[in-house]
Amino acid sequence: MTSHTWNLFWGSSFVRTPLRNGVGRYVQQLQRVTFKFCKTHGGSQGMREFIEKDLVDFAKVNPGVVVYLKPRRHRSPCLKAEYLNGEEEYISAHNLSSSDIKKWVEYLRMRSGNPVERLRKYQHTDHPSIQGPWTPWTHRDPEINVTEFPSEKLSAAHVTEKTATEQVIELFEKQKIASGSNTS
């Protein structure tokens, strides 16, 4: 599949982070996480185990994250995460073991909430230039600022090739140098 086709359906983006998160300070992007599970079915076994063993620790370590528990009869378990930018993410936890769920919760906790897309480049900068990008005046002599226009010198035709006279003079100079080096 070409990148064009991919972009039509799934989009693409550049590396970005919300408000330079992690530079100087870190703001937890995960705001709420909901554990939906059934109290009786086997598909929720791992989820129930996670809730019994690890959930309190998780809540203690992450005071910025609101944790909800939502038991519902005879429905398969899932994780719902809500982020600071308003994005939501669901992860089906059906038949997952408690260690798997631990890893998925960790994944949700560390995400920024930005959509998962193909990255066009693996690096990004907001300031591509330190010296300032090239402009037509970058390498020009600042003399042009105080020139009176129209100016004879600047209006003259550009000389692209050497004239016959100049070529002859150059040959003469070369011969002079060659003969000078021979005699000395």
Cβ partners under 8 Å of residue 27, min gap 6: 18, 19, 21, 84
Please enumerate in sequence order all residues whose Cβ is within 8 A of that of 76, keeping only pairs 6 or more positions apart, or say none. 38, 41, 43, 44, 92, 93, 94
The one among 25, 139, 153, 158 contacting other proteins by CB under 8 A: 139
Residue whose CB is less far from other proteins, 8 or 146: 8
Instruction: Return the residues of window 3-32 that contact other proteins according to CB under 8 A.
Output: 5, 8-9
Q: How far is the CB of 13 from other proteins (least distance, A)?
A: 19
Beta bridge partners of 80: 34, 90
Site string for other proteins, 117-136 (x = CB under 8 A): -----------xxxxxxx--
Q: Give CA–CA dist 101/43, Å, rounded.
A: 12
Region of 31-39, 46-54, 160-168, 171-179 interacting with other proteins (CB under 8 A):
171-179
Choose, by CB under 8 A, the member of 57, 60, 61, 138 that binds other proteins. 138
End-to-end Cα spacing for the chain: 74
CA 179 to chain centre: 65
By C-alpha distance, which of 80, 84, 74 is closest to 92?
80
Smallest distance from other proteins to CB 17, Å: 22
* Contact pick of 68, 174, 175, 178 for other proteins (by CB under 8 A): 174
**Region from 59-67, 102-110, 114-122, 170-178 binding other proteins, contact rule CB under 8 A:** 170-178
Q: How far is the CB of 147 from other proteins (least distance, A)?
A: 19
| Shortest CB 2 distance to other proteins, Å | 5
Nearer to other proteins, 1 or 146 (CB): 1
3-state DSSP percent of the chain in helix, strand and coil, to 5: 40, 15, 45
Tokens found for residue 133:
């990008």
Instruction: Kindly list the residues in this chain that would bind other proteins in the complex (CB under 8 A).
Output: 1-2, 5, 8-9, 128-134, 138-139, 170, 173-174, 177
